[in-house]
């Protein structure tokens, strides 16, 4: 029984993951509204980006990214 369930999860992992994400988004849209949900997603994306940059190259990588983002060419 357990082996079949794990095979099912491996075969349909992205379908299951995206359905769960869609369910969470629908719940958020209906409970807190469209714009608050969009704001929440933007804040989460920014936090993910900062965390990713810190994990990859530390504080210097984050500083370099911000400098590249706001520098004139």
Q: For 1-73, where are the E strands, in sequence order?
A: none
The predicted model scores a pTM of 0.70
- Ranges of residues in the chain with a pLDDT under 70 are 1
Q: What does DSSP assign to residue 12?
A: T
Predicted local confidence at residue 65, as pLDDT: 87
Residue extents of the structural domains in the chain: 1-32, 34-73
Predicted local confidence at residue 61, as pLDDT: 86
- Per residue in 46-59, pLDDT (tens digit) is 999 999 989 998 89
Predicted local confidence at residue 29, as pLDDT: 93
Predicted local confidence at residue 3, as pLDDT: 84
Predicted local confidence at residue 21, as pLDDT: 93
Contacts of 64 (CB under 8 A, 6+ apart): 57
């Amino acid at each position: 029984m357990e082996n079949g369930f794990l095979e099912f999860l491996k075969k349909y992992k992205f379908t299951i993951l995206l359905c769960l994400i869609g369910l969470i988004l629908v719940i958020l849209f209906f409970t807190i509204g469209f714009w608050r949900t969009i704001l929440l997603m933007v804040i989460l994306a920014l936090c993910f980006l900062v965390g990713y940059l810190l994990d990859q190259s530390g504080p210097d990588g984050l500083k370099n990214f911000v400098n590249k983002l706001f520098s004139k060419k």
